[in-house]
Chain A
């Protein structure tokens, strides 16, 4: 065995964080644990294991940015913080645009910070139908621990923007259930830049919570490294090999335990291209996406939606039907690209920007897609189910009714070629309209399920703790583990499962380090 040969300059701006600039050749490193991905799952596991005394290396494909790097330049932030600049899509009819973070901190750097436990009905189903016996009780202390670490709390009332107030007014007028959103923040002051890196440091993303903690307890982070494959000896994972982006330098990490935490699109692909197969046949299958559509409403009054906190409320009236509503401010450039208008018509429409409220919905999907690995690259395939399309269409109707109840004058739809709505009656007539899904604008940031957990190796890719069935020294710690969609924002569930997985490793340290 070759001696460890770290070909990096020690002592960059942040101790133990190494970026592309620190490499001057190929490296061979040793660690107890190599974690691929530094988002909700990877960072959590890194911090817990490092504090327990494990020697941990985290490899992250994206760059290392800090709070001071997050500016008001939305497109520059998108290019830096999103995988492929945000231009990623699942193939289907309609295609579903999805976004993933690609930076130290992963998607927690660009998400809205909504922090919800897995709903009881979902955990009950996992317990009852999927063999995850007692999971609700088991996860309870891990949820508590995560909430403490990332400071899950309601918003300070004085930073709630007009767009969110209008959403609540509309829900109240309809008599619908609307709740304060719980988010991982310490005195969010409403810069409304969650999706482009929180410039105030209020959002407790992994970048400012679990990552500093992991570093404090000795973990090392290698940013700008794309892991090409997990090395193995038979069915035992022995480490990873990656490439420093923008260079030809190779980095090899030899480790006793490898944790794949690169999200539900890339984790199955990494396992497949490393030669791991699941006897369940489920690796890469079971992809859920929480498909999401939005409407844009124009009000008479100024809204100035970019002043105020992101998603202060969630409308939960239709949660049992798999729908959540929230208001989300989008910068003018992102909004403009979603409109069909062009030329003078686009200019006229955008002149109302300050009076616009953008509201969207999350749909708990009933179908699944899959991730295939083509030439070593993952590609998602997902066909929106008729039932989910009908649910989204109904959701657009309900959300439009809510916005009219709040005083909206005009509502623009996410359906290509569809006329704008001018009244609640127009909204109610939506259900009768023929709106071919191929012209729908559907997006998501919640990809789940492609390495589902469960006790039965014939039905699941990993054990209930994330240990890959039929492999040694290999775990998964991200939303790939979810056996079903969860119907709420997934970050806290990912963190709780990762914490539980870390506990399992600590409890069985002798086995993992053998």
Chain B
């Protein structure tokens, strides 16, 4: 089971400001669902990543004060864009990695939204249902034969059997 992870208030505010920077315009209204999805993905990742991400969000948030006199969470439009770009091209590898990591995680969460999958024509659920039914109908006999083969006796060393009683 994954370790518990919840976005901090800071992380959530910063990510909300980044949705318009990273996601396509048509996904902006899905911002909260995208951020919730990122939380789920992070929860499945190693605890060290949770800590690193949370810390990174704080540094990203406060790092805007020097140049923009306000936290990153409050930046909008071009200013939010320019600040994020500075991180993408930062000299420090950790800054670049964080920017890239946010981009990856948010892009993934964005295209996990049903509306975005529909938009690119990705509709796997009905397809899976259709081909599963087809397989069971058309190939019923072969499927059954394999299921029987899986369980049929076929000892690796015929005639050798270790007789053990379970303790």
A-side residues, CB < 8 A to B, are 4, 20, 30-32, 48, 51-55, 71-75, 78-79, 82, 84-88, 145, 148-149, 151, 159, 186-187, 189-193, 199-202, 204, 208-209, 212-213, 216, 218, 224, 245-246, 304, 306-307, 331-340, 342-344, 346-348, 350-351, 353-354, 499, 502-503, 506-507, 509, 513
A32-B135 CB under 8 A given contacts A332-B116, A346-B23: no
Number of interchain pairs (Cβ within 8 Å): 196
Chain A residues, CB < 8 A from B41: 75, 79, 85
Chain B residues, CB < 8 A from A148: 149
Chain A residues, CB < 8 A from B27: 347
Q: B124 near A200 (CB under 8 angstroms)?
A: no
Q: How far is the CA of A201 from the CA of B132 in the complex (A)?
A: 8
Interface membership of B90, Cβ < 8 A:
no
A342-B162 CB under 8 A given contacts A224-B1, A331-B122: no
Give the nearest-CB partner of B135 in chain A.
Answer: A189
Chain A residues, CB < 8 A from B124: 72, 191-193, 306, 331
Give the nearest-CB partner of A339 in chain B.
Answer: B107
Q: How far is the CA of A507 from the CA of B22 in the complex (A)?
A: 61
Interface-central residue, A75, A193, A246, by most chain B CB under 10 Å: A75
Q: How far is the CA of A165 from the CA of B150 in the complex (A)?
A: 32
**Nearest Cβ on chain B to A314's Cβ, whole angstroms:** 23
19 other A-B residue contacts (CB within 8 Å) besides A20-B1, A51-B155? A31-B167, A32-B164, A55-B164, A79-B43, A87-B45, A87-B46, A145-B156, A190-B131, A191-B124, A192-B124, A200-B128, A200-B135, A212-B151, A216-B150, A343-B23, A346-B23, A347-B26, A506-B162, A507-B160
A189-B134 CB under 8 A given contacts A52-B162, A346-B24: yes
Q: A346 near B45 (CB under 8 angstroms)?
A: no
**Nearest Cβ on chain A to B167's Cβ, whole angstroms:** 3
Give the nearest-CB partner of A79 in chain B.
Answer: B44
**B2, B37, B107, B161: which contacts A53 (Cβ < 8 A)?**
B161
Q: B146 near A151 (CB under 8 angstroms)?
A: yes
Q: B156 near A52 (CB under 8 angstroms)?
A: yes
CB within 8 Å of A: which B100-147 residues: 103-105, 107-112, 116-117, 119-122, 124-125, 127-128, 131-132, 134-135, 138-139, 142-143, 146
Chain B residues, CB < 8 A from A346: 22-24, 107
Chain B residues, CB < 8 A from A509: 160, 162
A–B complex contacts, Cβ < 8 Å, 30 sampled = A30-B166, A48-B156, A52-B156, A72-B124, A73-B112, A79-B43, A84-B45, A85-B45, A86-B44, A186-B143, A186-B146, A199-B132, A200-B135, A212-B151, A218-B166, A306-B122, A306-B124, A331-B111, A332-B117, A332-B120, A333-B107, A333-B112, A336-B107, A336-B111, A340-B103, A343-B22, A347-B25, A350-B120, A503-B157, A513-B162
Give the nearest-CB partner of B151 in chain A.
Answer: A216
**Nearest Cβ on chain A to B148's Cβ, whole angstroms:** 11
B-side residues, CB < 8 A to A, are 1-2, 20-27, 37, 40-41, 43-46, 49, 103-105, 107-112, 116-117, 119-122, 124-125, 127-128, 131-132, 134-135, 138-139, 142-143, 146, 149-151, 153-157, 160-167
Q: B150 near A149 (CB under 8 angstroms)?
A: yes
Q: B108 near A75 (CB under 8 angstroms)?
A: yes
**B40, B107, B143, B154: which contacts A79 (Cβ < 8 A)?**
B40
Q: How far is the CA of A153 from the CA of B149 in the complex (A)?
A: 15
Chain B residues, CB < 8 A from A87: 44-46, 49
A79-B2 CB under 8 A given contacts A52-B156, A346-B24, A503-B156: yes
A191-B103 CB under 8 A given contacts A71-B125, A346-B23: no
A354-B156 CB under 8 A given contacts A30-B167, A52-B161: no
Q: B139 near A187 (CB under 8 angstroms)?
A: yes
Q: B164 near A84 (CB under 8 angstroms)?
A: no
Q: B127 near A306 (CB under 8 angstroms)?
A: yes
**Nearest Cβ on chain B to A507's Cβ, whole angstroms:** 7
Q: A212 near B108 (CB under 8 angstroms)?
A: no
Chain A residues, CB < 8 A from B22: 342-343, 346
